[in-house]
């Protein structure tokens, strides 16, 4: 739970510092590139995540790596910020949530749609139009397959859940039976 709060704070802070779409795209690409560097060099990752190496040494190592690439200053500052606060392990999750927060800054909500089988293009368009009518603003949809649903859909944005799945219906029925 604590890491989700931290991911949200760091991502929101980063998004607030971004001024325009081109900057967002470049910053996202650079952070993704840096993340790939870390994941492809296990020894580097182990060194930077070590609790025994002083922060100053970690920062020095990172500054040398960042100097070899032509990164935006915001990219370098953000990576160094994560290292200073021992949060480099959050980078992958921040990258995952970055488009959602960027879209929200632009007034576009992102919904996670779970279904048992992939939706057809027609079904996707219809669902998107319905959610845009419901929310009265543009939306984007991220799709995933969830075999536990048995049938139907589960649509989620943050704490808001529209559950029209068989599994959800059965759980609601179970709650009503227990309540009497």
CB 103 within 8 A of CB 111: no
Terminal CA-CA length for the chain: 33
**What integer pLDDT is reported at residue 179 of this predicted model?**
79
Residue 144 has pLDDT above 70, yes or no: yes
Please tell me what DSSP assigns to residue 158.
T
Written as six digits, the tokens of 14 are 């980063």
d(CA 29, CA 35): 10
pTM assigned to the model: 0.74
Domain residue ranges in the chain: 2-103, 108-179
Beta 152-157 vs 139-145: how paired, if at all?
Answer: unpaired
What mean pLDDT do residues 87-98 have?
93
* CA dist 52 → 46, 56, 63, 131 (Å): 11, 12, 19, 50
Identify the architecture of domain 2-103 in CATH.
Orthogonal Bundle (1.10)
**What integer pLDDT is reported at residue 164 of this predicted model?**
74
The average confidence (pLDDT) of the chain is 88
Residue 168 has pLDDT above 80, yes or no: no
Written as six digits, the tokens of 97 are 């949530």
Residue 1 has pLDDT above 80, yes or no: no
Residue 180 has pLDDT above 70, yes or no: no
């Amino acid at each position: 739970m604590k890491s989700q709060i931290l991911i949200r704070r760091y991502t929101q802070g980063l998004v607030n510092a971004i001024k325009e779409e081109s900057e967002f795209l470049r910053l996202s690409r650079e952070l993704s590139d840096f993340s790939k560097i870390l994941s492809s060099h296990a020894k580097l990752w182990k060194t930077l995540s070590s609790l025994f190496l002083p922060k100053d040494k970690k920062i020095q190592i990172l500054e040398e790596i960042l100097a070899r690439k032509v990164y935006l200053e915001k990219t370098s500052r953000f990576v160094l910020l994560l290292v200073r606060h021992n949060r480099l392990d959050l980078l992958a999750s921040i990258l995952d949530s970055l488009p959602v927060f960027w879209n929200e800054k632009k007034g576009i909500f992102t919904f996670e749609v779970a279904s048992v089988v992939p939706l057809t293009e027609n079904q996707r368009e219809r669902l998107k139009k319905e959610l845009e009518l419901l929310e009265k603003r543009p939306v984007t949809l991220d799709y995933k397959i969830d075999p536990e649903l048995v049938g139907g859909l589960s649509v989620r944005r943050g704490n808001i859940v529209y559950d029209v799945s068989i599994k959800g219906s059965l759980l609601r029925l179970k709650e009503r039976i227990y309540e009497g």
